[in-house]
Amino acid sequence: MGPMTDLLKKDTPFIWGSEQQQAFDTIKEKLITVPVLAHPNFKKLFLLYTDASKEGVGAILAQKQPDGRIHPVQFVFHCNNKVERNYPITDLEGLAVIWAVKKLKRYLRNVSFTIITDHSVLKHIFGGDEIPDRRRG
Protein backbone atom coordinates (compact mmCIF):
# COMPACT_ATOMS: atom_id res chain seq x y z
CA MET A 1 0.00 0.00 0.00
CA GLY A 2 0.99 3.62 -0.08
CA PRO A 3 1.96 5.99 2.69
CA MET A 4 -1.48 7.63 2.73
CA THR A 5 -3.66 4.51 2.48
CA ASP A 6 -1.64 2.94 5.29
CA LEU A 7 -3.06 5.64 7.57
CA LEU A 8 -6.56 4.23 6.99
CA LYS A 9 -5.79 0.83 8.50
CA LYS A 10 -7.49 -0.09 11.75
CA ASP A 11 -5.43 0.59 14.87
CA THR A 12 -2.80 2.53 12.90
CA PRO A 13 -1.74 5.77 14.59
CA PHE A 14 -2.22 8.84 12.40
CA ILE A 15 1.29 10.16 11.84
CA TRP A 16 1.78 12.67 9.04
CA GLY A 17 5.43 12.59 8.07
CA SER A 18 7.52 13.60 5.08
CA GLU A 19 6.53 10.45 3.15
CA GLN A 20 2.81 11.25 3.52
CA GLN A 21 3.37 14.90 2.63
CA GLN A 22 5.28 13.92 -0.51
CA ALA A 23 2.45 11.54 -1.56
CA PHE A 24 -0.11 14.30 -0.91
CA ASP A 25 1.90 16.82 -2.95
CA THR A 26 2.18 14.33 -5.82
CA ILE A 27 -1.59 13.74 -5.81
CA LYS A 28 -2.25 17.49 -5.70
CA GLU A 29 0.10 18.09 -8.65
CA LYS A 30 -1.51 15.30 -10.70
CA LEU A 31 -4.96 16.81 -10.14
CA ILE A 32 -4.02 20.15 -11.66
CA THR A 33 -1.93 19.02 -14.63
CA VAL A 34 -2.80 17.32 -17.89
CA PRO A 35 -4.80 15.19 -18.30
CA VAL A 36 -7.45 17.34 -16.69
CA LEU A 37 -10.87 15.72 -16.44
CA ALA A 38 -13.24 16.37 -19.32
CA HIS A 39 -16.95 17.04 -18.96
CA PRO A 40 -19.00 13.97 -19.91
CA ASN A 41 -21.08 14.08 -23.08
CA PHE A 42 -23.94 11.61 -22.69
CA LYS A 43 -24.56 11.59 -26.45
CA LYS A 44 -21.09 10.14 -27.14
CA LEU A 45 -19.57 6.73 -26.50
CA PHE A 46 -17.86 6.23 -23.14
CA LEU A 47 -14.65 4.20 -22.84
CA LEU A 48 -14.15 2.27 -19.60
CA TYR A 49 -10.55 1.19 -19.01
CA THR A 50 -10.15 -1.31 -16.16
CA ASP A 51 -7.22 -3.02 -14.51
CA ALA A 52 -6.53 -5.08 -11.40
CA SER A 53 -3.78 -6.22 -9.09
CA LYS A 54 -3.66 -7.99 -5.75
CA GLU A 55 -3.65 -4.57 -4.06
CA GLY A 56 -6.68 -3.08 -5.78
CA VAL A 57 -8.85 -2.52 -8.83
CA GLY A 58 -9.20 0.67 -10.77
CA ALA A 59 -10.84 2.25 -13.76
CA ILE A 60 -10.71 5.28 -15.98
CA LEU A 61 -13.87 6.49 -17.66
CA ALA A 62 -12.96 8.47 -20.76
CA GLN A 63 -14.33 9.90 -23.99
CA LYS A 64 -12.96 11.09 -27.29
CA GLN A 65 -13.08 14.88 -27.30
CA PRO A 66 -13.48 17.35 -30.19
CA ASP A 67 -9.67 17.65 -30.40
CA GLY A 68 -9.62 13.94 -31.39
CA ARG A 69 -7.84 12.88 -28.21
CA ILE A 70 -9.20 10.63 -25.49
CA HIS A 71 -9.60 12.50 -22.19
CA PRO A 72 -10.48 11.06 -18.79
CA VAL A 73 -13.88 11.89 -17.32
CA GLN A 74 -13.47 10.08 -14.01
CA PHE A 75 -10.85 8.01 -12.17
CA VAL A 76 -11.89 5.42 -9.57
CA PHE A 77 -9.92 3.01 -7.39
CA HIS A 78 -10.78 0.37 -4.81
CA CYS A 79 -8.30 -1.16 -2.33
CA ASN A 80 -8.90 -4.89 -2.18
CA ASN A 81 -9.79 -6.45 1.16
CA LYS A 82 -8.06 -9.56 2.54
CA VAL A 83 -10.44 -11.94 0.76
CA GLU A 84 -10.17 -10.14 -2.60
CA ARG A 85 -6.36 -10.23 -2.41
CA ASN A 86 -6.59 -14.03 -2.62
CA TYR A 87 -8.64 -14.00 -5.84
CA PRO A 88 -7.03 -15.46 -8.97
CA ILE A 89 -6.07 -12.77 -11.49
CA THR A 90 -9.01 -13.52 -13.81
CA ASP A 91 -11.41 -13.03 -10.91
CA LEU A 92 -9.65 -9.78 -10.00
CA GLU A 93 -9.91 -8.52 -13.57
CA GLY A 94 -13.61 -9.47 -13.60
CA LEU A 95 -14.06 -7.73 -10.25
CA ALA A 96 -12.49 -4.60 -11.74
CA VAL A 97 -15.04 -4.54 -14.58
CA ILE A 98 -18.09 -5.26 -12.42
CA TRP A 99 -17.02 -2.91 -9.63
CA ALA A 100 -16.25 -0.09 -12.09
CA VAL A 101 -19.58 -0.40 -13.90
CA LYS A 102 -21.44 -0.28 -10.58
CA LYS A 103 -19.30 2.58 -9.25
CA LEU A 104 -19.78 4.64 -12.42
CA LYS A 105 -23.44 3.77 -13.01
CA ARG A 106 -24.46 7.44 -12.86
CA TYR A 107 -22.46 7.92 -16.07
CA LEU A 108 -23.10 4.55 -17.73
CA ARG A 109 -26.82 4.04 -17.16
CA ASN A 110 -28.71 4.06 -20.49
CA VAL A 111 -25.68 4.95 -22.61
CA SER A 112 -23.31 3.04 -24.86
CA PHE A 113 -19.86 2.26 -23.53
CA THR A 114 -16.91 0.06 -24.39
CA ILE A 115 -14.95 -1.87 -21.79
CA ILE A 116 -11.21 -1.95 -22.43
CA THR A 117 -9.09 -4.48 -20.55
CA ASP A 118 -5.66 -5.98 -21.07
CA HIS A 119 -6.73 -9.37 -19.70
CA SER A 120 -7.14 -11.73 -22.68
CA VAL A 121 -9.38 -14.25 -20.90
CA LEU A 122 -11.95 -11.54 -20.15
CA LYS A 123 -11.83 -10.44 -23.77
CA HIS A 124 -12.84 -13.97 -24.78
CA ILE A 125 -15.54 -14.22 -22.11
CA PHE A 126 -17.17 -10.87 -22.92
CA GLY A 127 -16.47 -11.09 -26.63
CA GLY A 128 -18.05 -14.51 -26.95
CA ASP A 129 -14.93 -15.87 -28.66
CA GLU A 130 -13.88 -19.40 -27.88
CA ILE A 131 -10.89 -19.62 -25.54
CA PRO A 132 -8.09 -21.53 -27.29
CA ASP A 133 -7.41 -25.02 -25.92
CA ARG A 134 -3.82 -24.88 -24.66
CA ARG A 135 -3.70 -28.64 -24.10
CA ARG A 136 -3.25 -29.19 -27.82
CA GLY A 137 0.38 -28.77 -28.83
Q: What is the CATH number of the domain that holds 66?
A: 3.10.20.370
137 within some domain: no
Determine, yes or no, domain membership for 13: no
Could you read off the pLDDT of 35-54 as tens digits, one per residue? 678 899 999 999 999 999 99
Indicate whether 73 belongs to any domain: yes
**Residue range of the domain that includes 98:** 37-127
pTM, two decimal places: 0.68
Could you list the pLDDT tens digit for every one of the 137 residues in the chain?
577 777 777 888 888 989 989 988 988 887 777 667 889 999 999 999 999 999 999 999 999 988 888 999 999 999 999 999 999 988 899 899 999 999 999 999 999 999 998 766 655 555 655 545 444 44
Domain assignment of residue 97, yes or no: yes
Residue 20 included in any domain: no
HEC readout, the chain: CCCCHHHHCCCCCCCCCHHHHHHHHHHHHHHHCCCCCCCCCCCCCEEEEEEECCCEEEEEEEEECCCCCEEEEEEEEEECCCCHHHCCHHHHHHHHHHHHHHHCHHHHCCCCEEEECCCHHHHHHHHCCCCCCCCCC
Structural domain count of the chain: 1
The answer as to whether 31 is a domain residue is no
pLDDT at 40: 94
45 lies in some domain:
yes
In a domain, 18, yes or no: no
